[in-house]
Structure 1
């Protein structure tokens, strides 16, 4: 009797396992079909949306049946969300009248409500999306709420708010940098720089404050700002940053000095060279390569012969090539008293010139 009970239980267990496997297969197939349908819908919906945008921009023939069909699609939340995404993406690609047409579509179909809902959502990616959409469509009443997001603890949110405020206000929108104590990524810095098209005349106070910030990323951004707009009046302040504790700041200071150079820049580089770490020394040599100043020739030859680091010797040789000193380099490379490492360095520099 005991044996029959165990066999029965075994059969029952096998049946249960088979049922579970079958249910799993059905679930996987169902999810795959659902995912395929969503993907297919998005592809077909995108075509419909892009056609609607094109029709609006070029002023296509009015078609009431097509408009009715489009209105039907708009009842689907997923379609509205995709429509909003495509509008924002299209807004970046167009300007002038086309941009105004896209903006009109945004308001005509009441997509602003969708963006506002996202802005007030709890999920970070939705809030960031709402900020982006309201800024792209130039919804100025959203500025106060977006400004409040500058202090949000979530990176995606406060970064999008920064970009949005600068998009709305230009240079004035950078005011958040006065007290900003979190990292400003390189990508975010580029986004902000791209959004600023001019610097007002009375900008010195802000720029000077940012250069003295305890946040290294704010200092680096400001150096890039000075470089972009060639703010020559800050030459001394930038030069003083060669004593900054951060090597990254010093490197950006060298690049900025090269961009706003004056007649004394090369000599200042030479005088400060030995005081700098290797990474900054290499940056100084890169700046000399761009400047192509004969003033640095003797200094470069000294570095080629006497510097302890191979990387500096290589960089010095490359700058000498740019200055037209190939004959000098070939001459010393063929001398019997030139050590093998230096000969290889020179050959490498001359080969780079040929390439």
Structure 2
């Protein structure tokens, strides 16, 4: 009859084991929390030291020998060097002129190029992207072949940073990757690329026409934005042809680009193609007419206000008519006895918007 004592003994052992495991878990959590706190504390302290060093460099003060020795001691810590590199890259984008040159000098004074190369050759995407970013910021042209190879990387973080770096290095010529690019080009990435292109060389027409015919809609949209930025009038006929494009988003961008580089035929072309367009494109055409302020569109707009079945089109047409100075016409329509309530409200809204 010793079974109960054996069961009790095993239960006590089990409780002890559980308590030990709980204690170990608590110790682990506390240890990790303390470790995380130290990392955050170190980064905060290091950031202040680094930012002070950058400030000293920009204003032309080298600091005293003791400060320089202390900074050199910090640089022996790999985490400090990585943070220093990140902050330098961020600072380099915020400054220009003499300040930018001073910041660039720090890259080479402290031999941070080696750190950037090491990051470029890591496996983790964020490290590779960081290496690309840093080498581009330091304008290390020797890195171009390796960065160009990263354009084919499957990871978006890597190939997007490689795209931006190629344009940073080469300008317009860095957009060569677009010819065979089959992944989405995000709006943010398009903005980054456009901001880095400051001129388009002569004899680039063939390349631009190729991009306009791309099967990648985002490449076509980027090209339309590029044409808008540089007012490339020669591409107007090709842009007009895109109003038959299968993607509504491309048609919308084509309308915006036509308006940006408009000529005497633009309003007439908008009117001609209007009925064949989806609602989003029709609204974009009306927005463009509002910007153009062309009297040529008056009769067309009056027809849309009175006859179009979509309320959103009526509203936009009324707003453009107000911009064209047709307030009296709108008041007369609203006061007619045969005008239905919805149209009266649309006209009142448009007139009220004008007052605001």
* CA deviations over 1:275-308 (Å, ceiling 9, x no partner): 1111110100000011111111110010001011
**Corresponding residue for residue 110 of structure 1:** 111
Post-superposition offset of 1:61: 4.4
Post-superposition offset of 1:22: 1.7
Distance 1:100 1:212 in 2: 41
**Corresponding residue for residue 146 of structure 1:** 147
**Corresponding residue for residue 80 of structure 2:** 79
**Corresponding residue for residue 160 of structure 2:** 159
Which of 322-331 and 228-237 deviates more?
322-331
**Corresponding residue for residue 190 of structure 1:** 191
**Corresponding residue for residue 294 of structure 1:** 295
**Corresponding residue for residue 244 of structure 2:** 243
After TM superposition, the structure 1 = structure 2 runs for residues 39-54 of structure 1, keeping only pairs within 5 Å, are 39-54=40-55
Which of 345-354 and 203-212 deviates more?
345-354
* CA deviations over 1:140-191 (Å, ceiling 9, x no partner): 1101111111111211111111100000000111111111111111111111
**Corresponding residue for residue 14 of structure 2:** 13
* CA deviations over 1:26-77 (Å, ceiling 9, x no partner): 2111111111111111011001001111111111144111111001101111
Q: 3-state DSSP class of the match of 1:182?
A: coil
Distance 2:63 2:308 in 1: 75
Q: 3-state DSSP class of the match of 1:121?
A: coil
Post-superposition offset of 1:352: 2.3
The answer to whether residue 288 in structure 2 is matched with residue 267 in structure 1 is no
Gaps of 5+ in 1: none
The answer to whether residue 285 in structure 2 is matched with residue 284 in structure 1 is yes
Distance 1:125 1:46 in 2: 20
TM-score (norm 1): 0.98
Q: 3-state DSSP class of the match of 1:192?
A: helix
Post-superposition offset of 1:85: 0.4
Distance 2:77 2:133 in 1: 22
**Corresponding residue for residue 22 of structure 1:** 23
**Corresponding residue for residue 225 of structure 1:** 226
Distance 1:323 1:24 in 2: 74
Distance 1:345 1:10 in 2: 80
Distance 2:29 2:147 in 1: 42
After TM superposition, the structure 1 = structure 2 runs for residues 49-68 of structure 1, keeping only pairs within 5 Å, are 49-68=50-69
Which of 105-114 and 55-64 deviates more?
55-64
Which of 133-142 and 331-340 deviates more?
331-340
After TM superposition, the structure 1 = structure 2 runs for residues 311-350 of structure 1, keeping only pairs within 5 Å, are 311-350=312-351
Post-superposition offset of 1:11: 1.8
Distance 1:57 1:227 in 2: 37
Post-superposition offset of 1:331: 2.0
Distance 1:242 1:48 in 2: 56
Distance 2:87 2:304 in 1: 56
Distance 1:193 1:208 in 2: 18
Distance 2:36 2:47 in 1: 16
Post-superposition offset of 1:201: 1.9
Gaps of 5+ in 2: none
